[in-house]
Amino acid sequence: MIPVQFDYLAPTSVEEALAALAEHGDDAKLIAGGQSLLPVLRMRLNAPEVVIDLGGIAGLRGIREDGDALVIGAMTTHHDVLNDPLVKEHALLIVRAEHQLADAQIRHRGTFGGALAHADPAGDLGAPALALGAEFVITGPGGSRTVPADEFFVDLFETAIGEGELLTEIRVPKFTGWGAHYEKFVRVAHQWPIVAVAAAVKVDGGTITEARVGLTNMGSTPIRARAVEAALVGQPATEDAVGTAAALATEGTNPPSDLNGAADYRSHLAQVLTRRAVLAAAGA
Ligand SMILES: Cc1cc2nc3c(=O)[nH]c(=O)nc-3n(C[C@H](O)[C@H](O)[C@H](O)COP(=O)(O)OP(=O)(O)OC[C@H]3O[C@@H](n4cnc5c(N)ncnc54)[C@H](O)[C@@H]3O)c2cc1C
């Protein structure tokens, strides 16, 4: 199918984009890389009268350091995030997840901010962003506000971005020197995970001293596995100790049942993948 006819606007600044949003309200839809929106439009699941393309706003692209954080522009492509030396040095977990997100073609078009704004519970970037305590800069007519990751993801395909606002930057605290791994379980290569686990750990002399763990597709939003994190601290990075902590991965989850797997199957996967992700992150 082809999309319903729409008008196309191409602002060159955030102010112009906000003005277009204010003018067209509910009739407008933002487009970033189009990798999720275009299929939706083609299936006519959404039929905006106006599409506002963020692709011409140069200020929304790029990655920079700001003290203890990395700042990733919302329109930075997955490809650019994946290949950025700063991200590799300070937020390795994001590189590990980006490496497994879709395929090279989609990573060249799709954007970091678009994927997070889309908030697909099976999306690969939510769990790493949550685990690392990222902050989301949302800009609207009244200026910008910063929302922590645990308040950004509200529900299935729903975020804290309000009407007339757009996501402009994602601030990721630096986790320099931490080990990281993203363990993704898929039925078909280059696809969304049935379940995935994002793990970052700090290891000192074979002992895990700090841990961050996020779960993908174990509920309507990404979930932080805080019970696992607490149980890992002070433990040796061994199969047994990590396996005991990983058994807590289902705490606070509400996994869906669908054609790819029943909820209890996903719960089992979460425990297995958490053990694998943490051991790999710890280099064990
Ligand atoms: C075949 C295929 C396989 C894929 N596999 C995976 C996968 O394995 N893992 C994965 O995580 N993803 C996967 N994706 C999705 C991909 O990651 C997309 O890049 C991403 O979901 C959307 O990013 P985008 O820049 O293309 O956003 P778009 O499709 O342009 O927009 C998505 C939504 O976000 C909104 N939006 C975009 N930018 C902003 C903004 N700055 N502020 C507010 N709202 C905004 C749009 O209005 C729209 O509702 C796949 C896509 C395809 C087509």
How many Å lie between the centroid of ligand 1 and the Cα of residue 38? 9
Q: Is 11 in the pocket of ligand 1 (CB under 6 A)?
A: no
| DSSP code of residue 176 | T
Going from the Cα of 284 to the center of ligand 1, the distance in angstroms, rounded, reads 34
* Cα of 101 from ligand 1 centre, angstroms: 11
**Spatial contact of 253 and 264, defined as CB atoms under 8 Å apart:** no
SS3 annotation, the chain: CCCCCCEEECCCCHHHHHHHHHHHHHHEEEECCCCCHHHHHHCCCCCCCEEEEHHHCHHHCCEEEECCEEEEECCCEHHHHHCCHHHHHHCHHHHHHHHCCCCHHHHHHCEHHHHHHHCCCCCCCHHHHHHCCCEEEEEECCEEEEEEHHHHEEECCEECCCCCCEEEEEEEECCCCCEEEEEEECCCCCCCCCEEEEEEEEEECCEEEEEEEEEECCCCCCEECHHHHHHHCCCECCHHHHHHHHCCCCCCCCCCCECCECHHHHHHHHHHHHHHHHHHHCCC
Is residue 98 in contact with ligand 1, taking CB distance under 6 Å?
no
Question: What's the pLDDT at 284?
Answer: 79
Closest CA relative to residue 163, chosen from 283, 18, 11: 18
The verdict on the CB of residue 161 being under 6 Å from ligand 1 is yes
CA 119 to ligand 1 centroid distance, Å: 8
Question: 129 in ligand 1 pocket by Cβ < 6 Å?
Answer: no
Judge if the beta carbon of residue 222 lies within 6 A of ligand 1: no
Q: Point out the ligand 1 atom lying closest to the alpha carbon of residue 110.
A: 19
CB 31 near ligand 1, within 6 Å: yes
Please write the tens of the pLDDT for every residue from 68-98.
999 999 999 999 999 999 999 999 999 999 9
| Residue to substitute in 98, 106, 144 for testing ligand 1 pocket (most ligand atoms within 8 angstroms of CB) | 106
The full length of the chain comes to: 284
pLDDT by residue for the chain (284 residues), tens only, comes to 788 899 999 999 999 999 999 999 999 999 999 999 999 999 999 999 999 999 999 999 999 999 999 999 999 999 999 999 999 999 999 999 999 999 999 999 999 999 999 999 999 999 999 999 999 999 999 999 999 999 999 999 999 999 999 999 999 999 999 999 999 999 888 789 999 999 999 999 999 999 999 999 999 999 999 999 999 999 999 999 999 999 999 999 999 999 999 999 999 999 999 999 999 999 97
Atom of ligand 1 nearest to the CA of 36: 29
Of ligand 1's listed atoms, the one at least distance from the Cα of 60 is 41
* Span from the CA of 77 to the centroid of ligand 1 (angstroms): 10
- Of 122, 148, 275, nearest to 211 by C-alpha is 275
Whole-number Å distance, alpha carbon 97 to ligand 1 midpoint, is 15
Q: Is any atom of ligand 1 closer than 6 Å to the C-beta of 241? A: no
Ligand 1: residue whose CA is nearest its atom 28:
34
